Amino acid sequence: MSDGLALDNVSVTYRQPGGRRLRAVHDVSLAIEPGEVVGLVGESGCGKSTLARAICGLESLSSGTASFEGHPITRLGLRRRPTPLLRAQMVFQNPYASLNPRRRIGAQLEDGRRIHPGRAPSVVELLDQVGLESSAAQRFPHEFSGGQRQRIAIARAVATGPDLLIGDEPIASLDASLQARIATLMRSVALDAGASLLFISHDLSVVRLIADRMVVMRAGEIVEAGPTEQVWSGPQQAYTKRLLAAIPKADGRGELPQLLP
């Protein structure tokens, strides 16, 4: 098995009430090499987050195989997560829910440092890396804004010394002025830590800004993948074209995107 993340024909199926089955992810094959930044885009409900959860072992695979650094990814149950898989960490969408409100920032960063395989960066270094003051360690999550909390969540994920960092729409609940900044911060922090980054978003402009490679998902399947610029400037699939056409342009003409019914 190669290094990095390897998904081979992975499917995730949800059982719905009434016996119906919903195939959220269908036959997805994806490999992420070490040090690579991959942007995963697609509309809401296309299975992006489910795929991210499956990579972290939060969903069980209905078919296919997934491995990380040569270690098969197993469903996280009541047992402790296997040590090799701890090298894959996730930053969640909602910054208000991703930090324990009753514990100080410092203590929560320490949790991450504890599982670092080598010498973990100190709490002060971590906070500095994401642009926060060292006094933040003594404070509680509710004293921070959404953007600051997302920085803390990134610092916590990086503290573990990850080989793969997954951002599950980490910028979706931030305001527009912050989105690009947090996204570029995530890229630089991940690459500094020697990790690859899987960045999930429905904001194509931000993905273009940070990703080396772009993967487009629709209805649980990958419809197009390739180097970011190539997908951006010469989309092969009709769906990708429509997705690109739906990006609002700030050209002062006040035109709305095409895709409206």
Partner 1 sequence: MTITDPTPTETAPITDRRRLVRWPQAWRRPLTIIGGVIIAFWVIVAIVGIFWTPYPPLGQIAPRLSAPSGEHLLGTDSVGRDVLSRIMAGAHVSLPVPILVVALSMILGTALGAIAGYFGRVVDEVIMRLTDLVLAFPTIILAMVVTAALGPGLQNAVIALLAVSWPSYARVTRSLVLGARGSEYVVSGRLMGVSAWRSLTRDVLPNILAPIVVLATMDIGNAILLLSGLSFLGLGTVPPTPEWGAMVSEGVEQFSSWWIATFAGLAIFSVVLAFNFLGDSLRDALDPRAQKSVEGRAV
Shortest approach of partner 1 to residue 90 CB, angstroms?
A: 6
Stretch that binds partner 1, among 10-18, 152-160, 227-235, 238-246 (CB under 8 A): 152-160
Stretch that binds partner 1, among 42-50, 82-90, 125-133, 176-184 (CB under 8 A): 82-90
58 is a site residue for partner 1 (CB under 8 A): yes
Stretch that binds partner 1, among 25-33, 67-75, 124-132, 155-163 (CB under 8 A): 155-163
Stretch that binds partner 1, among 32-40, 90-98, 175-183, 218-226 (CB under 8 A): 90-98
Tokens found for residue 243: 């997705």
100 is a site residue for partner 1 (CB under 8 A): yes
* Strand arrangement of the beta sheet that strand 71-72 belongs to: 21-32, 5-15, 63-68, 71-72
In this structure, are residues 246 and 257 in contact, taking their beta carbons and an 8 Å threshold?
Answer: yes
Nearer CB in complex with partner 1: 13/98: 98
Shortest approach of partner 1 to residue 64 CB, angstroms?
A: 21
Shortest approach of partner 1 to residue 102 CB, angstroms?
A: 4
Member of 10, 25, 73, 90 binding partner 1 (CB under 8 A): 90
97 is a site residue for partner 1 (CB under 8 A): yes
172 is a site residue for partner 1 (CB under 8 A): no
Nearer CB in complex with partner 1: 9/145: 145
Nearer CB in complex with partner 1: 178/219: 178
SS3 assignment for the chain: CCCCEEEEEEEEEEECCCCCEEEEEEEEEEEECCCCEEEEECCCCCCHHHHHHHHCCCCCCCEEEEEECCEECCCCCCCCCCHHHHHEEEECCCCCCCCCCCCCHHHHHHHHHHCCCCCCCCHHHHHHHCCCCHHHHHCCHHHCCHHHHHHHHHHHHHHCCCCEEEEECCCCCCCHHHHHHHHHHHHHHHHHCCCEEEEEECCHHHHHHHCCEEEEEECCEEEEEEEHHHHHHCCCCHHHHHHHHCCCCCCCCCCCCCCCC
79 is a site residue for partner 1 (CB under 8 A): yes
76 is a site residue for partner 1 (CB under 8 A): yes
Residues that bind partner 1 (CB under 8 A): 56, 58, 76, 78-81, 83, 86, 89-90, 92-94, 97-103, 111-112, 114-115, 140-142, 153, 156-157, 160
